[in-house]
């Protein structure tokens, strides 16, 4: 099993558990994440979800060797990033959230992070582009120039800086993110679920109206790099554990 779940009253915790692979998402994890989040969405007794990883890494994104498998019908890539949810989902981040890992965080509604957590979109360092929403959700959740910085340099964003920029809702001591996320969830649970879901839906309709053009633009970016020598070199260099030698074509 690559995903574990736990019910805590009205709160549902979904934990990625493939720590030997830095919680990189393969086809099995995609399927298990989708099943867990389907369960969360379909159970009327569950009102708020928490998505988390391990103590050292939230997720390193797609397993570049095995691939992440096919998008699921209800959740899209990873079973998460194109999911139409009616209930709040909180990301509890310890350690690294990189590439698709950060894009899963961007697909959540609120973020709790440990002090040593870090976020990053290193796709360009492998000759690829962010495919799971970061090209348009990144500039929505962060100042535009910070999103550009992450997308163009591949550098990491510390949790402390992310909190100052308003991306992280709560910055807590390492090892305490799930506890803090559950506490935040419990604050939401105190409120009327119909009103919470209506508010969440209205917010999503307002901020996500440009999502479809964003997915189209992402598809164009993917098509641009798909057959490039740089893409082949980036993946080969990753597999061979060496620095890539870019050719710009």
Mean pLDDT of the chain: 96
Reduce the DSSP state of residue 35 to 3 states and report it.
helix
CA-CA distance, 221 to 158, in Å (whole number)? 27
Q: What is the DSSP string of 188-206?
A: HHTS-HHHHHHHHHHHHHH
Q: Please pick, among 73, 123, 204, 245, the residue that the annotation labels catalytic.
A: 123
pLDDT tier, 61 (very low <50, low <70, confident <90, very high otherwise): very high
Q: Please pick, among 32, 41, 94, 103, the residue that the annotation labels catalytic.
A: 103
Residue 64, pLDDT > 90, answer: no
Q: Cα 217 to the chain's mean position, in Å?
A: 19
Q: What is the pLDDT of residues 72-96, one digit of tens each?
A: 999 999 999 999 999 999 999 999 9
Total Cβ atoms within 10 A of residue 206: 8
Q: What pTM does this model have?
A: 0.96
Reduce the DSSP state of residue 121 to 3 states and report it.
coil
Residue 65, pLDDT > 90, answer: no
Element (H, E) at 140: helix 134-141
User: How many Å is the Cα radius of gyration of the chain?
Assistant: 17
* Domains annotated on the chain, with CATH: 3-174 (3.90.226.10)
In the annotation, is 103 catalytic?
Answer: yes
In the annotation, is 123 catalytic?
Answer: yes
Q: What is the pLDDT of residues 159-175, one digit of tens each?
A: 999 999 999 999 999 99
What pLDDT shows up at residue 227? Answer: 86
Q: What is the pLDDT of residues 95-133, one digit of tens each?
A: 999 999 999 999 999 999 999 999 999 999 999 999 999
Instruction: Please report, to the nearest 10 degrees, the dihedral formed by the alpha carbons of residues 85, 86, 91, 96 taken in order.
Output: 10
- Evaluate whether 102 touches 155 at the Cβ level (below 8 Å): no
């Amino acid at each position: 099993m690559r995903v574990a779940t736990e019910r805590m009253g009205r709160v549902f915790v979904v934990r990625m558990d493939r720590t030997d692979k830095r919680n990189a998402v393969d086809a099995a994890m995609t399927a298990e994440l989708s099943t867990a989040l389907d369960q969360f969405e379909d159970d009327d007794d569950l009102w708020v979800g928490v998505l988390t990883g391990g103590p050292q890494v939230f997720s390193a994104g797609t397993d570049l060797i095995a691939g992440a498998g096919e998008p699921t019908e209800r959740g899209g890539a990873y079973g998460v990033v194109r999911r139409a949810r009616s209930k709040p989902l909180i990301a509890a981040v310890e350690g690294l959230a990189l590439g698709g890992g950060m894009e899963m965080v961007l697909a959540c509604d609120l973020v709790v992070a440990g002090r040593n957590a870090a976020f990053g979109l290193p796709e360009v360092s492998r000759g690829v582009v962010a495919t799971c929403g970061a090209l348009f959700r990144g500039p929505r959740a962060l100042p535009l120039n910070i999103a550009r910085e992450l997308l163009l340099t591949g550098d990491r964003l510390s949790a402390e800086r992310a909190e100052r920029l308003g991306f992280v809702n709560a910055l807590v001591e390492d090892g305490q993110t799930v506890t803090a996320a559950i506490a935040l969830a419990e604050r939401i649970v105190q409120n009327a679920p119909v009103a919470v879901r209506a508010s969440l839906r209205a917010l999503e309709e307002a901020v996500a109206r440009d999502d479809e053009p964003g997915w189209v633009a992402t598809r164009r970016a993917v098509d641009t790099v798909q057959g490039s020598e740089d893409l082949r070199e980036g993946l080969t260099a990753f597999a061979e554990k060496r620095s890539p030698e870019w050719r710009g074509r």
